Structure 1
Amino acid sequence: MPIIQVKNLHLQFGGLTAVNNLSFDIPNETVMSVIGPNGAGKTSLFNMLSGFYRPTRGEIVFNGTNIVGKQPHQITAQGMARTFQNLRVFPNLTVLENVMAGMHSRTKQGLYGALFHTKAQRLEEETILSVAEECIRFVGIDKYRNRRAKNLPYGAQRYLEIARALAIQPKVLFLDEPAAGFNFTEKQDLIDLIGRIRRTYKISVVLIEHDMGLINKVSERVLVLNYGQKLAEGTPDEVLNNPLVIEAYLGKEDETDESA
């Protein structure tokens, strides 16, 4: 069974239809890209999948459970993590503190444990620290471990968000334009990181991205949206050579001969 099944999803803002009767599956342990022109509904889709928007109608079945109507923190606790197009780090916390803070959905000890520093509380704190440090090392920013997030280079802040999302130990990781602002070398490193995430953690990675070269190298499946509807779906080669996709991105040539 796919890790996520989207069934007849629809999102309406007043008279504006952002997503229209959209259905697709996200397979287990797959890197999948969602592409489309600006305004195609990509971020609206991510916001529905992660609980920030409630669909007007339709179903989102995550790991066998319909999650429509659940709050973002509830969906996160079930095993879904995401990053955002605009950086969302705690600027005055260190890298380590940022990643540890992101693990709140995985904590079980309550006020009693915190006040009396019980054995269970101490063990949980040790686990949180260990997982956070491993995620920081995995994405390659361990040299910034004790530096405040606001003082990191831009690329390291992007990787910090990914480390924090991985610390949740998700079944699905959503990355919203992870290569935005990256140069060529940084994009190659990101391609390597995404591949390692899928292989090491054996999870599905779903990304919104505009760089077609990156999409072609990293993706196993590609979903194309246009005006909130599914335009195409398939392997990168199938999708990126689809005439409808090319037309949506580049526009249809005017066949009228102006010189006639």
Structure 2
Amino acid sequence: MTSSLTVKNVTLKFGGLTAVNDLSFDISPGSISSIIGPNGAGKTSVFNMITGFYRPTAGQIILAGNQLVGKKPSQITRLGMARTFQNLRLFPNLTVLDNVKSGMHSRTSQTVWGALWQTRAQRREETFIEDSARDCLRFVGIEDSCDRIAKNLPYGAQRYLEIARALATKPRVLLLDEPAAGLNYEEKEDLIALIKRIRTHYELTVLIIEHDMGLIKKISEKVIVLDYGQKIAEGTPEDVLSNPRVVEAYLGKEEEAI
């Protein structure tokens, strides 16, 4: 089976600091996979390289046969990559609906001329954008809030709004950076169900960064573990979370008895 996403021998250096070191992994189409590791392990740096915010010092990143290294974030979005952020990056003073419509910018085709003169094609596209945005909001369960200002939504709903905006770009691969951060137990259970529905309904691949091990075990088919920018384990949640190197990375090495 071909991979939806391939990261091959990727290294990222900032001056004398190596944030990610010779990292390789494949993500299968239609899978739900996770990247875990202690704080500072390089997880978000990996997402930033995949989405074009950072350029790797070395290595390749391939999405459905397309080389991503050297492309701008907007170009990578058009190729089928979407993401959410650990710290919400909504437009706080826009409505919920307008936030999702903004995510469709990369898929629009009309010109400034069409917008100024409100051509028939422009009006058709505006209708399509609004209908698609409402569909995304309906899917994540917050369509009733479409006219509310984004910053006035409860925190959990803001998380769902960011997911809806990512879905509006029509991705092949969806990257979720700590989607459960700040959520209570019931909200996390709802999030797990939503991610599974997203995978099935939109027929896409999901890659998650997450600290919540309970969520990781319930949702992930493959887990990649980073420590100090290097991959130290890869496999099923059960295998990875019982790996001594992973336990050591999270809990620290037990001191030998004196």
Scaled by the length of structure 1, the TM-score of the pair is 0.97
- The match for 1:18 is 19
- The match for 1:140 is 141
CA distance in 1, matches of 2:100, 2:49: 24
Residue 238 (structure 1) shift: 1.1
CA distance in 2, matches of 1:54, 1:139: 32
CA distance in 2, matches of 1:90, 1:211: 27
Alignment deviations for residues 130-155 of structure 1 (CA, whole Å, 9 cap, x no partner): 11001001111112111000111111
- Are 2:10 and 1:4 aligned? no
- Structure 2 stretches lacking a partner, 5+ long: none
Q: Secondary structure at the match of 2:20?
A: strand
- The match for 2:128 is 127
CA distance in 1, matches of 2:90, 2:110: 24
- The match for 1:244 is 245
The letter for the 2-side match of 1:226 is: D
- The match for 1:57 is 58
Residue 76 (structure 1) shift: 0.5
- Are 2:188 and 1:187 aligned? yes
CA distance in 2, matches of 1:89, 1:70: 23
The letter for the 2-side match of 1:53 is: Y
- Are 2:77 and 1:76 aligned? yes
The letter for the 2-side match of 1:15 is: G
Over the aligned positions, Cα root-mean-square deviation in angstroms equals: 0.8
Residue 188 (structure 1) shift: 0.4
CA distance in 2, matches of 1:102, 1:75: 13
- The match for 2:100 is 99
Alignment deviations for residues 94-123 of structure 1 (CA, whole Å, 9 cap, x no partner): 100110011100001111211222222122
% identical aligned pairs: 66
Q: Secondary structure at the match of 2:183?
A: coil
- The match for 1:227 is 228
- The match for 1:201 is 202
Aligned residues: 257
Q: Secondary structure at the match of 2:39?
A: coil
Matches within 5 A, 1:21-60: 21-60=22-61
The letter for the 2-side match of 1:103 is: M
Alignment deviations for residues 158-202 of structure 1 (CA, whole Å, 9 cap, x no partner): 110000000111000001000000110110010000110111111
The letter for the 2-side match of 1:132 is: A
Residue 255 (structure 1) shift: 2.1
